[in-house]
Structure 1
Amino acid sequence: MSFAPGIARDPWMKGAVPRARAEIHRVVRKILEPLLSQGLITRALDAPLGPGAMAQWLVQRGLEVWGVDRDLAQSDEADPRIIRVNGDVNEALPCPDAFFDLVVSLEGIEHLENPFQFFREVARVTRPGGWLVLSTPNICNLEERLNFLFRGCFYRVIPREERERYGSGFDHQNLLTFAEIKQLLLWHHFQPLGWYRDAQKWRQLFWLWPIGLGVWLYGVCQPAARKEKYALWDSLSGPILFGGNTLIVLARRQQPKAQSQ
Structure 2
Amino acid sequence: MELNETMAAVVTGGASGLGAATARALAAKGVKVALFDMNAEKGEALAAEIGGVFCKVNVTSDEDVDAGFEKARAAHGQERILVNCAGIGNAIKTASRSKEDGSVKHFPISAFDFVIQVNLVGTFRCIAKSAAGMLTLDPLDDSGARGAIVNTASVAAEDGQIGQAAYSASKAGVVGMTLPIARDLSRDGIRVNTILPGIFDTPLLAAAPQNVRDALGASVPFPQRLGQPDEYAKLALCMIETDYFNGEDVRLDGAIRMSPR
Alignment TM class, shorter chain as reference: 0.3 to 0.5
Q: TM-score scaled to structure 2, two decimals?
A: 0.42
